[in-house]
Amino acid sequence: MSVGVVMLCHTAFDRAAQVARHWAVRDCPVVIHVDRRVKRRAYDGLVKALSDLPNIRFSGRHACEWGTWGIVAATQEASTIMLRDFAQVRHVYLASGSCLPLRPVEEMIAYLTERPRTDFIESVTTEDVGWTIGGLDVERFTLRFPFSWRKQRRLFDGYVRLQRRLGFRRRIPAGIVPHLGSQWWCLTRQTLSAILENPDRAEIDRYFRRVWIPDESYFQTLVRQVSANVESRSLTLSKFDFQGKPHIFYDDHLQLLRRSDCFVARKIWPHAGRLYKTFLSDDTGSQPAAEPNPGKIDRLFAKAVERRTKGRPGLYMQSRHPNENWENGRTAAPYSVFEGFVDLFENFEIWLGKATGTRVHGHIFAEAKVEFAGGEKIYNGAVCDSAAIRDYNPTSFLTNLIWNTRGERQCFQFGPEDSQALAQFIAGDPNAQISVISGAWAIPLFHSNRNFGEIRKEAARLQKIEAEFLSELRKPWVKARVRTWSLAEFVENPMEPLQTIVDEISPRAMRRLSEAPRLADLTGFGQFLQNLRNQGMQPVLMGDFPAGDDPRPSTSRRGRPYLVK
Amino acid sequence: MLRLARKRWRIRAFRKRRELRAVVDRTNQIAPDHILLFSTLRNERIRLPYFLRYYRNQGVNHFIIVDNDSDDGSREYLQAQPDVSLWTTKHSYKRARFGVDWLNYLQNKYAHGHWALIVDPDEFFVYPFCDTRPLRALTDWLDASSIKSFSAMLLDMYPKGPFDAAPYAEGQDPFEVAPYFDSGNYIIHRNKKFGNLWIQGGPRLRMFFQDLPERAPALNKIPLVKWDRDYAYVSSTHMLLPRGLNQVYDEWGGEKASGCLLHAKFLDTFAHKAEEEMERRQHYANSHEYRAYRAGISTQPDLWCKWSEKYINWRQLEILGLMSKGNWA
Residues A276, A187 share a domain: yes
Residue A510 has pLDDT above 80, yes or no: no
Question: Is the pLDDT at A476 greater than 50, yes or no?
Answer: yes
Q: What percent of chain A has pLDDT over 90?
A: 56
Contact A242 B327 (CB under 8 A): yes
Q: Which of A316, A326, A383 sits opposite B252 (nearest CB)?
A: A326
Look at B188 and A311 and tell me if their CB atoms are within 8 Å.
no
Q: Which of B139, B141, B185, B258 to mutate to test the interface with A (most CBs of A within 10 A)?
A: B185
Confidence of residue B299 (pLDDT cuts 50, 70, 90): low
Instruction: Indicate the pLDDT class of residue A556, thresholds 50, 70 and 90.
Output: very low
Chosen for mutation from A249, A306, A316, A319 (greatest number of chain B CBs closer than 10 Å) is A319
Residue B252 forms contact with A (CB below 8 Å):
yes
| Alpha-carbon distances, residue A140 vs A71, A126, A151, A203, A218 (angstroms) | 16, 10, 19, 18, 11
| E strands present in A110-172 | 119-120, 124-125
User: B49 to chain A, minimum CA–CA distance in Å?
Assistant: 27
Sorted by sequence, the CB contacts under 8 Å of residue B156 that are 6+ apart come out as B181, B182, B202, B203, B204, B219, B263, B265, B266, B303
User: Which positions in chain A touch B133 (Cβ < 8 Å)?
Assistant: 250-252
pLDDT of residue B182: 95
Test A250 with B214 for CB contact under 8 angstroms: no
Which residue from A513, A512, A527, A522 is spatially nearest to A556, judged by alpha carbons? Answer: A522
Per-residue pLDDT, A561: 46
What's the pLDDT tens digit per position in B134-189?
999 999 999 999 999 999 999 999 999 888 888 899 999 999 999 999 999 999 99
Residue B169 sits at φ, ψ, to 5 deg, of -100, 145
- Option in A305, A328, A389 nearest B205 (CB): A389
Give the closest-approach CA distance of A376 to chain B in angstroms. Answer: 11
The residue ranking higher by pLDDT, A53 or A150, is A53
- Quick one: A6 and A98 in the same domain? yes
Residue A182 pLDDT: 87
Cβ contact (<8 Å) for B255 and A400? no
pLDDT, averaged across chain B: 89
Asked if residue A239 has pLDDT above 90, the reply is no
Question: What pLDDT is recorded for position B99?
Answer: 82
Asked whether residue B224 is assigned to any structural domain, the reply reads yes
Residue A143 lies in a domain: yes
The answer, yes or no, to whether the previous bond of B242 is cis (omega within 30 of 0) is: yes
- Asked if B164 is an interface residue toward chain A (Cβ–Cβ < 8 A), one would say no
Q: How far is B70 from chain A (nearest CA, A)?
A: 34
Whether B325 is in a domain gets the answer no
Q: How many residues does chain A have?
A: 565
Residue ranges making up the domain that contains A362: 335-558
Query: CB neighbours (10 Å) of residue A207?
Result: 17
Do residue A320 and residue B324 have CB atoms under 8 angstroms apart? yes
Q: Is the peptide bond before A303 cis (omega within 30 degrees of 0)?
A: no
CA distance A246 to chain B (A): 9
Q: Do B151 and A318 touch (CB under 8 A)?
A: yes
What pTM was estimated for this model as a whole?
0.90
B96 Cβ under 8 Å from any chain A Cβ: no
- Confidence class of residue A21 from pLDDT cuts 50, 70 and 90? very high
pLDDT band of B98, cuts 50, 70, 90: confident
Give the nearest chain B residue to A405 (CA atoms): B184
- Asked if B188 lies within 8 A of A303 by C-beta distance, the reply is no
Average pLDDT, chain A: 88
Nearest Cα of chain B lies from the Cα of A258 at a distance, in angstroms, of 17
A513-536: buried (b, 16+ CB within 10 Å) or exposed (e) per residue? beebbbbbbbeebbbbbebbeeee
- Taking an 8 Å cut-off on Cβ atoms, the answer to whether B136 and A271 are in contact is yes
Instruction: Please write the tens of the pLDDT for every residue from A392-412.
Output: 999 999 999 999 999 899 999
pLDDT for residue A259 = 86
Instruction: Supply the pLDDT for residue A66.
Output: 82
In a domain, B328, yes or no: no
CATH number of the domain where residue A531 is located: 3.40.50
Give the mean pLDDT of B98-110. 89
Q: Which residues of A554-563 are buried (b: 16+ CB within 10 A; e: fewer)?
A: beeeeeeebe
Q: Element (H or E) spanning A160, and its range?
A: helix A153-166
Whether residues A85 and A224 share a domain: the answer is yes
CA B254 to chain A, closest CA, distance in angstroms equals 4
Q: Does position A291 have pLDDT exceeding 60, yes or no? A: yes
A43-95 tens-digit pLDDT: 999 999 999 999 999 999 999 888 889 999 999 999 999 999 999 999 999 99
Residue range A201-213, pLDDT digits in tens: 998 999 898 888 8
Separation of alpha carbons A259 and A255, rounded Å: 6
Backbone angles phi, psi at A432, to 5 degrees: -85, 135
User: What is the distance in angstroms between the Cα of B226 and the nearest Cα belonging to chain A?
Assistant: 18
Range of B14's domain?
Answer: 2-319
The whole-angstrom separation of Cα A435 and Cα A416 is 14
Residues A311-349 have pLDDT tens digits of 999 999 999 999 988 888 899 999 999 999 999 999 899
**pLDDT confidence band for A268 (50 / 70 / 90):** very high
Inter-chain CB proximity B307 and A382 less than 8 Å: yes
On the question of pLDDT at A497 being above 80, the answer is yes
CB burial of A67-85 (b: ≥16 within 10 Å; e: otherwise) equals bbbbbbbbbbbbbbbbbee
What does the pLDDT read at residue A555?
A: 43
Total count of domains within chain A: 2
Domain boundary among A280, A303, A327: A280
Q: Closest Cα partner for B215 from B159, B284, B160?
A: B284
- Chain A residues near residue B190 by CB distance under 8 angstroms: 321
β strands within A296-452, DSSP E: 335-339, 359-363, 378-379, 383-384, 410-414, 432-438
pLDDT in tens, B206-250: 988 888 899 899 999 999 999 999 999 988 889 998 889 999 999
Q: Best residue in B33, B130, B181, B188 to probe A by mutation, most A CBs within 10 Å?
A: B188
- Indicate the residue type of A7: M
Which residues sit opposite A124 in a β-bridge?
A: A180
Q: Do both A273 and A343 map to the same domain?
A: no
Counting residues of chain A whose pLDDT is more than 70, the rounded percentage is 93
CATH of the domain at A143: 3.90.550
How confident is residue B2, by pLDDT bands cut at 50, 70 and 90? confident
* CB-CB under 8 Å, A317 with B324: yes
Q: Is B304 an interface residue toward A (CB < 8 Å)? A: no
Q: What is the model's pLDDT at position A551?
A: 58
ipTM (interface predicted TM) = 0.93
Residue B327 included in any domain: no
Contact of B71 with chain A, judged by CB distance below 8 Å, is answered with: no
Asked, for residue A315, whether it belongs to a domain, the answer is no
- The answer to whether the Cβ–Cβ distance between B251 and A323 falls below 8 Å is yes
Taking an 8 Å cut-off on Cβ atoms, the answer to whether A307 and B254 are in contact is yes
| Residue B211: closest C-alpha in chain A | A388
In a domain, A314, yes or no: no
Question: In chain B, how many domains are there?
Answer: 1
Same domain, yes or no: A361 and A258:
no
Query: With contacts defined as CB-CB under 8 Å, which chain A residues touch B132?
Result: 250-252
Q: Give the mean model confidence (pLDDT) for residues A485-493.
A: 90
d(CA A141, CA A213): 10
